Amino acid sequence: GAGVSQSPSNKVTEKGKDVELRCDPISGHTALYWYRQRLGQGLEFLIYFQGNSAPDKSGLPSDRFSAERTGESVSTLTIQRTQQEDSAVYLCASGLAGAHEQFFGPGTRLTVL
């Protein structure tokens, strides 16, 4: 596709359930990033992939959060045993390695009831 896509666009879940969020980066982009944006707050860095490896997971807020990337393409962010404070928009971005530019997807709005 022409841009970064994410699915689902919206996800409502019950507290304690697991959720999986998907990101399809721009073809050829080796760098992939996940961010979280809480209401009224700036974007928070979660994790960075270079290829299929994640050299920096420092932003993951707890061990309930994990992410993987396969084929230097699709990435999934998994949140286990969701809590209400996990409610946010989760944004994915991709870019060329070493480049300044990051291209963002539309985000997944997660609501935990």
Partner 1 sequence: KNQVEQSPQSLIILEGKNCTLQCNYTVSPFSNLRWYKQDTGRGPVSLTIMTFSENTKSNGRYTATLDADTKQSSLHITASQLSDSASYICVVSGAGSYQLTFGKGTKLSVIP
Chain residues binding partner 1 by CB under 8 A are 4, 31, 33, 35, 40-45, 48, 56, 91, 93, 100-107, 109
Distance CA 77, CA 43 (A): 16
CA end-to-end span of the chain: 33
Angle value at C-alpha 87, between 82 and 74, nearest 5 degrees: 75
Q: Toward partner 1, which CB reaches closer, 79 or 93?
A: 93
Smaller CB distance to partner 1: residue 3 or 16?
Answer: 3
Nearer to partner 1, 10 or 81 (CB): 10
Tell me how far, at minimum, the Cβ of 59 lies from partner 1, in Å: 8
Residue with tokens 């994410």, as numbered in its chain? 6
**Smallest gap from residue 107 Cβ to partner 1 (A):** 5
Q: How far apart are CA 87 and CA 74, in angstroms?
A: 23
